[in-house]
Amino acid sequence: MTQTISRRNLLSWLGRLLEERLLIAPTHTTGPILFQPVSKIEDIVLDFDNTALSAKEWFFPATETLFWAETTDGRTELVPATVEREAVVFGIRPCDAKGLALVDKAFLAEPADTLYQQHRDKAVLVGLSCRKASPQCFCTSMGTAPNDPTHVDILLTEVEEDYIVQIVTEKGKALLPDNLLLESKVVPPPPPSPPVVSAEGIEEVMRQAFDSPYWSRLADRCVHCNLCAYVCPTCYCFDIRDYESKGKIERVRSWESCQSPGFTRQAGGYNPRASKGARLRQRFYHKLLYFPEDFGAIACAGCGRCVQVCPVNIDIREVIADIQTIGGRNVP
Amino acid sequence: MSPENPFVPYLATVKNVVTLTPDIKLLGLELDDPTVRDNFSYKAGQFAVLSAFGVGEAPFCLASVSHPKGELEFAVRRIGTVTSSLQELEPEAAVGVRGPFGNCFPLDDNKGQNIFIIGGGIGMAPLRPVINTILRNRDDYGHLLIINGARTPQDLVFQAEFDIWASSPRTQLELTVDRGHDGWKGRVALVPAVIAELNPSPENTVAITCGPPIMIRFTLQELRKLGFQDNQIITTLEMKMKCGLGKCARCNVGDMYVCKDGPVFTCEQISKFIEQF
Amino acid sequence: MAVGYQPRIVGFLCNWCSYAGADLAGTSRISYPANIRVIRLPCSGRVDPMLIVKSFELGADGVLVSGCHPGECHYLEGNYHARRRFALLRSLLDYLGIEKERFQVEWVSASEGKRFSEVVSSFTGELARLGPRREA
Amino acid sequence: MELIAVEKPASYPDKERGERLNQQLRDKAKELLERGAVECVIGYERATDGSSARPFFVYQPEEVDRLIFDQTCTHNLVKYLLNKKDKTTAVVVKPCDSRALNLLLNEKQIQRDKVFIVGVVCPGIVETGWNQVSQTLQGRCQRCRQHTPLVYDFLVGEPPAEEAPPAEAYADVAEIEAKPLAERQTFWDEQSKRCIRCYACRQVCPGCYCSECFVEQLQPPWVGIKIAPPENNMWQTIRAFHLAGRCSGCNECERVCPMDIPLSLLNRKLEKEVWELFEFQAGLSAETVPPFATFKKEETLGIGE
């Protein structure tokens, strides 16, 4: 027996949540669809492929203050930033949730990034299964699926006018009152099946291919912007600098990407990884070799955003297939 | 490291600022919180991330030998925004300290061996605690040969301690500069040339070196010519860092993080790195 | 006009003419509103557009660039280049929502102490009429 | 390597002529490579969606068959020449790209004798999505008055007999100019709020080649690292201003922006002002002195009357 919730009950439940919590959901902007705080339930978009930026931006924001420091008559006091409001992230796709789980492996490993931890603890993830796969999706090849409930607190799967509800965690259970749920025998629709990218044994092949000229040829066309890293649900590189105004100091952390020119340039100017080829290679080595070695999983959720936004079509699926070929594992 | 948020530094106060060379100053810091001070123990080779409030953070090796009552000493060379700001600090100013981070020189394993130290310019900073640790346990180690090179005589680092080092038992201090001037009576030669000239035997010896990348490259060549095996040569790498905690994957050389797996590596380890440093 | 509203003006003055003119205003006891914060630069041609955009971003209500009259530039052509640069910058800023009237370029020579004070007074009055740039 | 199935892509408006011109392009590339006249030919090849194009660097004669040119070849390849300064390189150039080439020649960033220019008579580039090729021309192409490159060593295709009258160049710019102040402020606040500072607009722009962009400078930190409005406004404003009188209108910055920020509204506002103030258009020739490098003593430009 599956539990379902009607569209009307779903929206009224979200309306109630709106009063007490920060409700973040996909909404239209004058640009692309983005996860934004919702002020009116009507703003929530339920029919969308995926947001331009992943939900990562609400846990590891593009810009965030780590702490404030104030010096009053010779005494300096540090005030760490904290996350106050409880939040609900509604409409997160399974691939973004998997992305968060991958970032958790790095940020929550000892010593845990407590600010990120607060963002995660104080938010409930209400996932929305995908009804159709975009041409760039390949989540099933990266250990998740269009209806994978593993990394969300509640998973909704649209079926005609209602939604099948899968309560996954205690957090989800506590948030969704039972009286809104109906028992039903409706069968979930078959999930879309994006094309398969065979990434088995990619680590071994990557280890062989480090000095291959493939990387510098791939980098020929790369323009080295930060786009692929900023839209990626699993990229977590950052820069830290201070802001000072009228004696009050603010330490700010912002996104940065391994493609930016100064990423490894030291203050004296020495830059061990200066060439374009080496920087682009670093992106794929971190995702397909270093991260798996450290944390046991490929640092990719298969959401396909980098493939979609890359100005010059650097396609990670093509890179994986090419590297398998170079490594002699020419998978049909 | 503050138990709550690893990105929030311990507060410390500048106790004294000593000018070592025209562009290098030695900062002596004291951690404000006594409990933190007592168990902030570290080994030669480890580093800490200093906060120049209002500008940012940067990693610096701990140039002092760990002592609960002792100050934390950092040699800071004026090279960028954070170092310039740190150099302008007066005593009693507030700074932030995160750490201690990274691994350390394997001095315990090197007991009984001869130690051959080769430092270039600010590269002497991580080697200073190695020397002072050896001198404090002098009998545990064999002969200590130190080459300290710099661009010009005034750029030689830790000049105030040269006499102590040179006069210590079974210790030999060789100074060299790239360009001398009329007042300079010492050696004028590049560090690798001095290695060839002194021609130390690799027998039961470990070489510990740190300096600008160009010096390291030619120093390794000379050491290998003298018969030093890669596992007998130890160095400490310097990479741009943002967390120092093995979290942000910024300081990687291949699959190694300089902040977590290093900064101290043997040349044998470095030769196995998938990515050239 | 919000009562007690004092517009904040950043003034980039060229060292040879306008700064000297402002100095002359001072020495000859000609008063002008204290709303202007003067920044001295070698030449109006040295004023980088980034200085102007940064001033507005940091909260200036008005920016004045003042240099030698065309033809009298100590460096011969600094103000000619400045004139082109700021004619364009002014229309871009207006397009972006910083009114044209908030960014003035005036030629004030070293002997025009009086004119300098008039420039600053009229500019302050104009900005007071416009009100604060943003209810920041 | 067939990753995903796609139906045949639309190439040239008139297919047969398109095939002939593509072959002309491949033969020329092969000849240049075989003769050793160039070390590399920079052109386009089919992208992984099977219907749009992507930049392609050819080093071996046998690879030329992957070269294509059709209405999806939107990238401005001229900027890549900055990575090939010491090697003779051939590059496929559309008319708007050729203006960027003139800019780089005029600013001494590339040497004319190091570049073999394969000019292409441009049929106009169409809007494309992933694996979708529309028939509507891009904005820049609707406004385009120049279907033949201004400079080339070899021309693929014949100059068109008559050119369709171009769309009005600055209608959308005038629309913003006409908005009252408060509306203009809200409009631009809305745009700059979304900027995530990925710098794709800078990285694809032939006019943006500073070794250290002002945005990355730390002494002084012109723009802080906060990815948020005050810094974003500074970035957008100064980026556009640094291209005043230099932007060739290839519009790649607007195409690559992931946040759909209408960047060409900034560049073309300045293009319009530069024409009105100095009667100068960027990239028409490699010799004319750009507006900010010269002046007229007698002009007043509405300044300091």
pLDDT tens column, A105-132: 999 998 999 999 999 999 999 999 999 9
pLDDT tens column, B180-219: 988 898 899 999 999 999 999 999 999 999 999 899 999 9
Residue D119 shares a structural domain with residue D193: no
Mutate one of B247, B258, B272, B273 to test the A interface: name it (highest A CB count within 10 A).
B247
pLDDT of residue D2: 25
User: Tokens representing B23?
Assistant: 């562009």
Q: Which of C50, C88, C107 has the CB atom closest to D238's CB atom?
A: C50
Residue D89 shares a structural domain with residue D136: yes
d(CA B50, CA A263): 19
Q: What are the φ and ψ backbone dihedral angles of A108, each rounded to 5 degrees?
A: -100, 0
**Least-confidence region, from A231-240, D69-78, D180-189, D216-225:** D216-225
> What's the structural domain count of chain D?
2
Three-state DSSP state, A231: helix
pLDDT tens column, B102-121: 999 999 999 999 999 999 99
From residue D182, alpha-carbon distances to C93, C95, C132, D98, D188 in Å are 14, 11, 13, 39, 10
pTM (predicted TM-score)? 0.93
Kindly indicate the confidence band of residue A195, based on its pLDDT and cuts at 50, 70 and 90. very high
What's the start-to-end Cα distance of chain C, in Å? 16
Flag whether pLDDT at C107 surpasses 90. Answer: yes
Give the pLDDT mean for D230-238.
94
User: Tokens representing D256?
Assistant: 């690559």
pLDDT of residue D135: 86
pLDDT of residue D230: 87
CB B210 within 8 A of CB B119: yes
Give the pLDDT mean for A99-110.
95
Give the pLDDT mean for D220-239.
93
Q: Which of B8, B55, B247 has the CB atom closest to A107's CB atom?
A: B247
**Which residues 83-122 on chain C approach chain D with CB closer than 8 angstroms?**
83-89, 91-93, 95-97, 99, 105-107
Nearest to B189 by CA among B208, B215, B228: B215
Contacts of D219 in chain B (CB under 8 A): 81
Q: Which of D54, D221, D258 has the CB atom closest to A221's CB atom?
A: D54
Flag whether pLDDT at D1 surpasses 80. Answer: no
pLDDT tens column, B218-240: 999 999 999 999 999 999 999 99
pLDDT tens column, D157-181: 887 777 777 878 899 999 999 999 9
d(CA B62, CA A300): 37
Q: Does any domain span residue B248?
A: no
pLDDT of residue B104: 95
Contacts of D220 in chain B (CB under 8 A): none
pLDDT tens column, B129-147: 999 999 999 999 999 999 9
pLDDT of residue C2: 55
pLDDT of residue B277: 76
Q: Which domain holds residue D259?
A: 171-293
CB A232 within 8 A of CB D198: no
Which among B101, B124, B158 is the end of a domain?
A: B101
pLDDT tens column, B249-268: 899 999 899 999 999 999 99
pLDDT of residue B16: 94
Nearest to B230 by CA among B271, B169, B186, B180: B271
pLDDT tens column, A283-321: 999 999 999 999 999 999 999 999 999 999 999 999 999
Residue D233 shares a structural domain with residue D127: no
Kindly indicate the confidence band of residue B30, based on its pLDDT and cuts at 50, 70 and 90. very high
Mutate one of A105, A240, A275, A285 to test the B interface: name it (highest B CB count within 10 A).
A240
From residue A120, alpha-carbon distances to A108, A112, A125, B86, B112 in Å are 10, 12, 9, 35, 52
Report yes or no: D83 at the A interface, CB cutoff 8 Å: yes
The length of chain A, given as a count of residues: 332
Report yes or no: A294 at the D interface, CB cutoff 8 Å: no
Residue B60 shares a structural domain with residue B124: no
In this complex, do A241 and B55 lie within 8 Å of one another by their Cβ atoms?
yes
For B208-220, the DSSP string reads: EEES-HHHHHHHH
B203, HSE (Cβ side, Cα atoms, 13 Å): 2
My answer on whether omega of the bond before B263 falls inside 30° of 0, hence cis, is yes
d(CA A281, CA A289): 11
Instruction: Could you list the beta-strand ranges (E) of chain B.
Output: 10-21, 24-31, 47-52, 56-61, 72-77, 94-101, 114-120, 144-150, 171-177, 187-188, 205-210, 233-236, 252-253, 256-257, 264-266
For A38-101, the DSSP string reads: -SSGGGB--S-S--SS-GGGGTS-SEEEEEEEEEETTEEEEEE----S-EEEEEE-HHHHHHHH
Report yes or no: D129 at the A interface, CB cutoff 8 Å: no
Number of C/D CB contacts below 8 angstroms equals 82
Q: Which domain holds residue B149?
A: 114-236
Assigned CATH for C9-128: 3.40.50
CB B134 within 8 A of CB B107: yes
pLDDT of residue C136: 47
Number of A/B CB contacts below 8 angstroms equals 114
pLDDT: which is higher, D9 or D79: D79
Give the pLDDT mean for D21-29.
94
The residue written with tokens 């959401």 in the block is: A303
Nearest to D39 by CA among D79, D76, D75, D80: D80
For chain D, the DSSP string reads: --SS--PPPP-SSSHHHHHHHHHHHHHHHHHHHHHTS-SEEEEEEE-TTSSSEEEEEE-SGGGGGG-B-STT----GGGGGGG-TTS-EEEEE-HHHHHHHHHHHHTTSS-GGGEEEEEE----PEEEETTEEEEEEPHHHHT----S-SS-SEEESPPPSS-PPPPPTTHHHHHHHHS-HHHHHHHHHHHHHH-----HHHHT-TT---SS-GGG--SS-SS-S--SHHHHHHHHHHHHHHTTTT-----HHHHH-TT---THHHHHHHHHHHHHHH---TTS-SSSPPGGG---TT--TTS--
Give the pLDDT mean for A232-237.
96
d(CA B173, CA B165): 7
Flag whether pLDDT at D80 surpasses 90. Answer: yes
Name the DSSP letter for residue A286: I
The chain A residue lying nearest D227, using CA atoms, is A63
Give the pLDDT mean for A320-325.
94
User: Tokens representing B156?
Assistant: 């030689």
Flag whether pLDDT at A103 surpasses 70. Answer: yes
User: Which residue type does D286 have?
Assistant: A
Dihedral angle computed from the Cα positions of residues C63, C69, C70 and C73, in that order, rounded to the nearest 10 degrees = -90
d(CA D244, CA C85): 10
Flag whether pLDDT at C135 surpasses 70. Answer: no
pLDDT tens column, A30-77: 889 999 999 999 999 999 999 999 999 999 999 999 999 998 887 889
Put residue A2 in one of left, alpha, beta given phi > 0 → left and psi -120 to 50 → alpha.
beta
CB C95 within 8 A of CB D176: yes
Nearest to A327 by CA among A206, A218, A211: A206
Tally of CB atoms within 10 A around A56: 24
In this complex, do A311 and D130 lie within 8 Å of one another by their Cβ atoms?
no
D29, HSE (Cβ side, Cα atoms, 13 Å): 30
Dihedral angle computed from the Cα positions of residues A216, D201, D147 and D14, in that order, rounded to the nearest 10 degrees = 70
pLDDT of residue C10: 97
User: Tokens representing D75?
Assistant: 């990238």
pLDDT: which is higher, A74 or C45: C45
Flag whether pLDDT at D278 surpasses 60. Answer: yes
CB D138 within 8 A of CB D126: yes
Flag whether pLDDT at D8 surpasses 50. Answer: no
Q: Does any domain span residue B251?
A: no
In this complex, do D48 and A227 lie within 8 Å of one another by their Cβ atoms?
no
d(CA A8, CA B215): 71
pLDDT of residue A261: 84
Whether the CA torsion B206, B208, B213, B218 is positive or negative: it is: negative
pLDDT of residue D242: 96
Flag whether pLDDT at D10 surpasses 60. Answer: no
Q: Does any domain span residue D5?
A: no
**Measured between CA atoms, how close is A2 to chain D, in angstroms?**
35
Query: Structural domain boundaries of chain A?
Result: 2-55+83-184, 202-240+254-326
pLDDT tens column, D86-144: 999 999 999 999 999 999 999 999 999 999 999 999 988 999 888 888 888 999 999 98
pLDDT of residue A44: 95
CATH number of the domain that residue B33 is part of: 2.40.30.10
pLDDT of residue D5: 28
Flag whether pLDDT at D206 surpasses 70. Answer: yes
Report yes or no: D197 at the A interface, CB cutoff 8 Å: yes
Which chains border B (3 or more CB–CB pairs < 8 Å)?
A, D
Q: Which of D47, D216, D225 has the CB atom closest to A254's CB atom?
A: D225
The residue written with tokens 């990105």 in the block is: B7
CB C113 within 8 A of CB C25: yes
Kindly indicate the confidence band of residue C99, based on its pLDDT and cuts at 50, 70 and 90. very high
Residue B55 shares a structural domain with residue B83: yes
Kindly indicate the confidence band of residue C3, based on its pLDDT and cuts at 50, 70 and 90. low
d(CA D61, CA B255): 37
pLDDT of residue C4: 80
Q: Does any domain span residue B91?
A: yes
Three-state DSSP state, A239: strand
Flag whether pLDDT at A225 surpasses 80. Answer: yes
CB A159 within 8 A of CB A188: yes
Q: Does any domain span residue D4?
A: no
Residue D141 shares a structural domain with residue D176: no
> What's the structural domain count of chain B?
2
d(CA B131, CA B137): 10
Q: Does any domain span residue B15?
A: yes
pLDDT of residue D97: 96
